[in-house]
């Protein structure tokens, strides 16, 4: 079985799953129960007396049937002057460049970093009373947005900090972790430990059992013995857009046997993309949509909106041209495959009426 033990900034944990600073770590009793359930660590929300709580603190955003889709250097130096334990600095995403404050924390002597903190937000407004939600005596303020909806942002920012050559201290990943797959994605992008809050508020402490078992099983299946085997493995594949290969071509392909004839792909492509799907008559008993290959740029929108899994897939189109990035092409150091030129000069013609 995979070894999930981890040493993070000198802190030894039986597994990388920690409770994040939040309501699940409000009290000693909660943290004690969490450890009994198998959590590897916990970050206290508040320590000291008196602790004053306020009411009406939680608002949430739902998505379909999914409930609760979403809920800097001198200071570090001051803390390090008196700290006798590792200092982990939590970084906010509410900045233009998170690597700037990450470097500042490192310069101040931080032992580790954790990210991301919550995103400033207002979850909604009551259009009868005009009160932002959740209402506190008719008023409200911005709050911290978290949960599955912030995971893509968190993954991006974790990879940005982990890939920064100036940041050579451990990173604890936070933001929408609710499954072993989420955890694995954070780890391969450079996270050493993983902090969970919203998922615990939703499902309770016992979710850690699924997190541990799922991650262990996946590692066993892939032949990974320790977390060090996978940590940061995806970072070399994270590049800037201008360094991507313009001669890597994809075309959409529709599996007509799986198509349910909803035409969502046609609508999305026609109004929101490249008019690369042709609508066919419904009375012919055959397909109702097909890809216009000479117009398709492989943007993936059709596959994203299709309600049937694997009905629309993206397939690579081979060519004899060497890879060339936009940076090199703009500098006159490479050539685009002729098909790319055709795609960029394609003319629009009206499709069938809705």
Domains delineated in the chain: 6-237 (3.20.20.70), 241-344 (3.30.70.20)
Query: What is the three-class DSSP state of 3?
Result: strand
Closest CA to 124 of 63, 198, 58, 61: 61
Which two three-digit tokens encode residue 201? 């508020």
Rounded to 5 degrees, what are φ and ψ at 83? -70, 140
pLDDT score of 342? 41
Q: What mean pLDDT value characterizes the chain?
A: 89
CB 312 within 8 A of CB 289: no
Buried b (16+ CB within 10 A) or exposed e, 27-52: eeebbeebbeeebbbbbebeeeeeee
Residue 172 bridge partners (DSSP)? 114, 193
Q: What pLDDT band is residue 344 in, cutting at 50, 70 and 90?
A: very low
> pTM, whole model, 2 decimals?
0.85
- Distances 90 to 126, 153, 173, 258 between C-alpha atoms, Å: 33, 15, 10, 46
Q: Which residues contact 62 (CB under 8 A, 6 or more apart)?
A: 68, 69
Neighbouring CB atoms inside 10 A of 158's CB total 28
Residue 208 pLDDT: 97
Helix ranges (H only) for the chain are: 28-37, 74-82, 98-107, 151-162, 180-188, 198-203, 207-222, 264-272, 301-305, 326-330, 338-344
Rg (CA), the chain: 25
Nearest Cα residue to 70 out of 236, 258, 202, 233: 202
Percent of the chain at pLDDT exceeding 90: 76
Ordered DSSP codes for 327-347 = HHHHTT-----HHHHHHHTPP
Average pLDDT for residues 280-308, to the nearest whole number? 93
Structure tokens that stand for 188 in this block: 């391969």
5-19, 34-48, 159-173, 194-208: the lowest-pLDDT one: 34-48
Q: Give the mean model confidence (pLDDT) for residues 100-114.
A: 95
Residue 99 has pLDDT above 70, yes or no: yes
pLDDT of residue 71: 44
Active site residues: 73
Predicted local distance difference test score (pLDDT) of residue 65:
64
Task: Specify the pairing of strand 171-174 against strand 125-126.
Answer: unpaired
User: In this predicted structure, which of 140-149, 201-210, 232-241 has the lowest mean pLDDT?
Assistant: 140-149
**Residue 58 reports pLDDT greater than 60:** no
Q: Nearest-CA neighbor of 180 among 224, 141, 120?
A: 224
The pLDDT assigned to 343 comes to 45
Q: Above 60 in pLDDT, residue 47?
A: yes
Percent of the chain residues past pLDDT 70, beyond the cut: 88
Helix (H, G, I), strand (E, B) or coil at 134: coil
């Amino acid at each position: 079985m995979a070894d999930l033990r981890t040493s993070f900034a000198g802190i030894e944990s039986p597994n990388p799953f920690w409770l994040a600073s939040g309501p699940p770590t409000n009290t000693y009793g909660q943290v004690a129960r969490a450890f009994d359930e198998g959590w590897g660590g916990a970050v206290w929300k508040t320590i000291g007396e008196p602790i004053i709580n306020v009411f009406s603190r939680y608002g949430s955003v739902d998505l379909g049937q999914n409930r609760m889709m979403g809920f800097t250097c001198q200071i570090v130096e001051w803390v390090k002057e008196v700290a006798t334990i590792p200092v982990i600095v939590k970084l906010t995403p509410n900045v233009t460049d998170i690597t700037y404050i990450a470097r500042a924390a490192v310069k101040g002597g931080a032992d580790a970093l954790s990210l991301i903190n919550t995103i400033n937000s207002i979850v909604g407004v009551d259009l009868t009373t005009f009160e932002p939600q959740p209402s506190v005596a008719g008023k409200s303020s911005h709050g911290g947005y978290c949960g599955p909806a912030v995971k893509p942002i968190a993954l991006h920012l974790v990879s940005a900090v982990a890939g920064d050559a100036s940041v050579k201290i451990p990173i604890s990943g936070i933001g929408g972790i609710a499954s072993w797959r989420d955890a694995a994605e954070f780890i391969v992008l450079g996270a050493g430990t993983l902090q969970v809050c919203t998922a615990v508020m939703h499902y309770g402490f016992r979710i850690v059992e699924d997190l541990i078992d799922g991650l262990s099983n996946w590692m066993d299946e892939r032949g990974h013995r320790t977390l060090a085997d996978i940590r940061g493995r995806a970072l070399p594949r994270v590049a800037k857009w201008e360094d991507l290969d313009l001669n890597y071509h994809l075309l959409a392909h529709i599996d007509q046997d799986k198509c349910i004839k909803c035409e969502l792909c046609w609508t999305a492509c026609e109004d929101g993309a490249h008019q690369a799907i042709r609508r066919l008559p419904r009375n012919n008993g055959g397909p109702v949509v097909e890809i216009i290959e000479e117009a398709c740029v492989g943007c993936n929108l059709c596959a994203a909106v299709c309600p049937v899994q694997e009905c629309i897939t993206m397939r690579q189109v081979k060519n004899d041209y060497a890879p060339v990035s936009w940076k090199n092409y703009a500098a006159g150091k490479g050539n685009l495959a002729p098909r790319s030129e055709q795609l960029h000069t394609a003319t629009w013609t009206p499709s069938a009426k809705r």
